[in-house]
Every structure is written in C-alpha cells, then in structure tokens.
Amino acid sequence: MTVQNPSYLLKSRHGIWYFQVQIPKRFSQTQKRQLFKKSLKTTNRLLALKKARVWWLKMEENDFQWEEEAETLNEQYHQGKLIYQRLNKLDSNDPVEIVDFLNSLSLSEETALRVYNDSLERQTQPTTNQCHR
C-alpha cells in the first residue's frame, strides 16, 4: 500500500521535506512569489507531516488577512487609475500645472497613484523564462 502525501508536502532531492503552497492569483499583486516554500528541516516523513499541518493552519488563518489586503490594493489600484487619467488630461508642456496637481493630492491619493504606477511598470517589464536542467 502506497502512502500519499498531501499536495503541500514535498521532498527535495536531498531528502529534506518542504511545505509548499501556491499563492492564489488574487494575491499575486501583493506577493512577489507565486509559491510559498518553507523547509521543514527534517528527513523524517511523519515529523514533516506534523510540521506541514501547522504551516497549513497558519496559511488558513492568514487567508482572511490576505483577502483584506487584496481588496485594499484593488481599491487603491482603481483610485490610482482615475488619478492617472486626470493627470494625463493636464497640459504636459506646463510643468507648474503638473506640480500643482501632484501637490494637491492627499497621502492616500499619492499611495493609490504609486500602486497604479507600480502595476504599470510590472506589466511593461519583460518576463524571463529560465529553463532549469
């Protein structure tokens, strides 16, 4: 009889067990990594399983917090997009008008504009595909 491991429990080629889960796409704006991977620092399967279950519970507890962060980031993104559209309507040849507009923004509006701008930068950066052999 073969014992199947949970999908979040992985063994490295060196025999060390890891806890690994994929971060949901809805959180990809707040998380730079697509995977969360943590060494369980053991070669013992049963001990690794116990440690991995603890990590699984921690991830479940944090899911609600991630939901709130994703919602906040989404709101900031949309607010930043509206501010960016207003900024683009200004005369680009008049630096005083642009500076006055930027100085008129509240701290939350500046943050929203920064979130939107960061998102644009990530979209325009080339992705690198690396092959591991």
Contacts of 90 (CB under 8 A, 6+ apart): 97, 98, 101
Q: 2 in a domain, yes or no?
A: no
Pairing of strands 35-39, 9-11: unpaired
Q: 19 in a domain, yes or no?
A: yes
pTM over 0.75: no
State pLDDT tens for residues 97-129: 999 999 999 999 999 999 888 888 777 766 555
Q: 131 in a domain, yes or no?
A: no
Res 35: pLDDT? 79
State pLDDT tens for residues 27-62: 655 556 577 889 999 999 999 999 999 988 888 777
Range of the domain at 46: 9-124
Res 59: pLDDT? 81
Is the model's pLDDT at 14 over the cut of 90? yes
Res 63: pLDDT? 67
Q: 38 in a domain, yes or no?
A: yes
Q: 129 in a domain, yes or no?
A: no
- Among 27, 116, 106, which Cα is nearest to 77's? 116
Helical (H) or strand (E) element with 20: strand 17-22
16, with CB counted inside 10 A (0-12, 13-18, 19+), is: middle
Contacts of 88 (CB under 8 A, 6+ apart): none
* Gap between the Cα atoms of 10 and 37, Å rounded: 10
CB 79 within 8 A of CB 109: yes
Strands, sheet with 9-11, edge to edge from the N-terminal-most edge strand = 9-11, 17-22, 35-39
Res 82: pLDDT? 93
Contacts of 15 (CB under 8 A, 6+ apart): 43
Domain count, the chain: 1
